[in-house]
Chains A and B, each alone.
Chain A
């Protein structure tokens, strides 16, 4: 039951809403700057001071080959490492939530450790191993490094998502004569798939964006963040902002599609429940 609010409470309510609104504005200020400065016509090599509106950056988004190449490398790395990490991480999450077994507590702790270690430590320790073993740095070492933190991330987020999963559904399918494998692919897998995809998308974003761990393990390989870091000392072309805005739009589009699918699913689910 809602009760009537007195003036003091109303003021408090507005104050909290105001703080929340300001926090949202704070979150979006740099995004606004990034998009705005993709239309800037900078005077020198640094795209820092506003100097007039232009569309020419958007007309030639790929005019800096070193940036585009780095973006392609980042996408390749993210694609391969996400594929491996999603496979391994999903297996771990399934094992942890499907079965009770000895040592699951230790596994849980072990999974959280990479996520709670500072990135400098993860990056430098892996690089130390590679140096000590004489492994040469390149795309393979970067993929290995990315999979390392993505596995933990996928396993932990997916486990949280399928915590309340009703495993008796699988049992029911087997009672109806399905083989365990068929029960898994026909019942369990379609139900956990949205969670798997969400975890995969987020870990893809983590991989594309990773700077510190990559910095230690890349050798001469240049990913998009490394290119930006290197360029930031010499020149910041507005194309960086154009490519960043494109990535942003792409990810927002994926997110919106995801939200629409989810809300449609929910509507379908509630509909079928009502029918019953």
Chain B
């Protein structure tokens, strides 16, 4: 579904991504793992059209998306749930969800709203409340719910477990599996190596702007370098 070829990007003269190749197939969960400052957020920004790539190609569903605007990318169904949620704090939960279908899925807004509320009953309870007053976990649910409103054909989840309590982290990964169970391909960008590898089918390890390691989750999990670097074993 999503294919990235020799992608290069950065800010000003600083190159952050130095040639990335990545693919996400239909129905897959693919994890991009790495610690802070290796380029995960930059990769997401390029994929969602917020930042221009310097070189390389992004193809989604057989169409080239390189250099397209965020609006076009959303329209194509490549939906990015950003790190730090980036919900609209001054607006109600309901309005946040409405805006999820601003560019895509507008005709089926009410049907999708019910679906999101069924997935997150908590959001239904709080639909009139200002989004900025929600707890961190609820805000994360809202951010994902807002993404679901656009009927994603592929969902990019950027650090969905960041800042959540251990119990909520478990819940979040269960939710990711559940979303994927309905056939939705997911690109999971995470620092949480152990749990991400448990739910992903394949994984890429990002280090200093290149993929230092990639393969099936099984292979990656058993790689001696990864064990030493990320799992302290």
State yes or no: do A and B come from one complex. no
Name A's B-contacting residues (CB within 8 A).
Answer: none
